[in-house]
A and B are shown apart, each in its own frame.
Chain A
């Protein structure tokens, strides 16, 4: 599973970073980006889905 933050949609709500800090980080302005090239380590798929399901801007894209 891979995830990607669409930076044109991210507005810095920081829900992904709060829910799955293993998968996402934020810069000094609060904009999110995916860690590890977006590769979701085994066992963290549910956290990835939770982050996606809580992004108000629908900015996280999943690539199964």
Chain B
């Protein structure tokens, strides 16, 4: 892939979260930064980005919607205010943003959020368990009796796509295209602009077509729910419906794909935990919470609304700020032995799904998918191990998880 910014030489002053080295060595990079007395790193790339690394700072930013807007939550080469004059490129302004409610600020945020919350509440999500279990088993059946299977390509990447496509009412045959667009939005932030814009246009046209089809042929799914929904007495504009579909499609896929992959990666590299969970499946829910803490997939972003001082640094209006919940989850002020993965950790106030008003809407679904996926994988492959570190390929950008994860199956059912 062509990159606009080159490799990172100095992580303290020139970090790049989309440099492939970042996700590969993320824990060592944070430790080095903190050891160098740098709890908040800065880079000039992407027009200026801050990276705060403590739970206290991440918590504070997540709660401070006055100083930090969500108008765009994925760091990119273009800042929203730079293209406000250009109708081709401009995104809806705050407090709505391009993909509500994740890109929204108060007071609009809660109105948009209320539309989506019921579909993702625990009592709506729990009944999906048997369907997910069946799907996971079918994916493993398809692997046949190979010695080496790819737990990312042949397993984790499929599970969330199937559920999200079904919920939205989009054709599952397009799963590869959805994953391509996820890659576009989240992983290709360092690719040339023109390349990205052409693909964004294709993504938009695809969704427009399917939303129009839902308007002409209504059915019972989330797209039709959105078309019928009202915000403050008005139906949603087609632009808002499309934005919300983009949010669900992007945020619902690679996050959980990463969460499942990270869990299997841990088990593939830790024989003791693997054996404990294979023998005691009742421990899986607690272990999944620990995997979410130690390997939280998602880092969000904010934009600074006005110049102000934050923990000793001068933030400028329009600066990007990354919200690394995964780093907050490894803060020794908040967690005992944070670098250690303790699968029965009892005190675990992790923030893998964010903090404050933007708590991940899909968290109940993500947890269910992770729990079922780990349980079925261990039932079918009670013993397995990582092939090699070199063959494990990590995602780039704000969502971290294995994109290739070859494991050797040591026993199977």
**A44 located at the interface, meaning its Cβ lies under 8 Å from any Cβ of chain B in the complex:** no
**B178 located at the interface, meaning its Cβ lies under 8 Å from any Cβ of chain A in the complex:** no
Chain B residue contacts of A58, Cβ below 8 A: 349
Q: Are B351 and A56 in contact (CB under 8 A)?
A: yes
19 pairs, A vs B, C-beta closer than 8 Å: A11-B355, A12-B117, A12-B363, A13-B359, A14-B363, A18-B367, A26-B121, A27-B121, A29-B114, A29-B118, A30-B117, A30-B121, A30-B122, A50-B346, A53-B347, A53-B348, A54-B348, A56-B349, A56-B353
List residues of B (107-166) whose CB comes within 8 Å of A's CBs: 114, 117-118, 120-123
Which chain A residue has the least Cβ–Cβ distance from B364? A14
Given A30-B120, A30-B364, A56-B351, CB of A12 within 8 Å of CB of B346: no
CA distance A23 to B118 in the complex (A): 22
Which one of A18, A26, A27, A56 contacts B350 once the chains associate, using CB atoms below 8 Å? A56
CA distance A57 to B356 in the complex (A): 7
Q: Are B121 and A28 in contact (CB under 8 A)?
A: yes
CA distance A27 to B123 in the complex (A): 9
CA distance A56 to B335 in the complex (A): 12
Closest 10 CB pairs of A and B: A11-B359, A53-B347, A29-B117, A30-B121, A56-B349, A28-B118, A56-B351, A54-B348, A14-B122, A30-B117
Which one of B346, B350, B357 contacts A11 once the chains associate, using CB atoms below 8 Å? B357
**B289 located at the interface, meaning its Cβ lies under 8 Å from any Cβ of chain A in the complex:** yes
Main secondary structure, interface of B, reads: helix
**A55 located at the interface, meaning its Cβ lies under 8 Å from any Cβ of chain B in the complex:** yes
Inter-chain pairs besides A13-B359, A30-B117, A57-B356, 10 sampled, C-beta below 8 Å: A12-B117, A12-B363, A13-B353, A28-B118, A30-B364, A50-B346, A53-B349, A54-B347, A56-B351, A58-B349
List residues of A (20-56) whose CB comes within 8 Å of B's CBs: 26-30, 50, 53-56
Q: Are A29 and B121 in contact (CB under 8 A)?
A: yes
Which chain A residue has the least Cβ–Cβ distance from B349? A56
Q: How large is the interface on B (under 10, 10 to 19, 20 to 34, 35 or more residues)?
A: 20 to 34
Q: How large is the interface on A (under 10, 10 to 19, 20 to 34, 35 or more residues)?
A: 10 to 19
**B92 located at the interface, meaning its Cβ lies under 8 Å from any Cβ of chain A in the complex:** no
Chain B residue contacts of A55, Cβ below 8 A: 349
CA distance A55 to B117 in the complex (A): 19
CA distance A57 to B359 in the complex (A): 10
Chain B residue contacts of A17, Cβ below 8 A: 122
Which one of B123, B285, B346, B363 contacts A13 once the chains associate, using CB atoms below 8 Å? B363
For the complex formed, measure the closest distance between the CB of A54 and the CB atoms of chain B, giving whole angstroms. 5
Which one of B355, B359, B367 contacts A12 once the chains associate, using CB atoms below 8 Å? B359
Chain B residue contacts of A12, Cβ below 8 A: 117, 359, 363
Which chain A residue has the least Cβ–Cβ distance from B116? A29
Which chain B residue has the least Cβ–Cβ distance from A28? B118
Chain A residue contacts of B121, Cβ below 8 A: 26-30
CA distance A25 to B342 in the complex (A): 28
Which chain B residue has the least Cβ–Cβ distance from A29? B117
Contact with A along B258-299 (1 / 0, CB 8 A): 000000000000000000000000000100010000000000
For the complex formed, measure the closest distance between the CB of B320 and the CB atoms of chain A, giving whole angstroms. 24
List residues of B (179-211) whose CB comes within 8 Å of A's CBs: none
CA distance A13 to B360 in the complex (A): 8
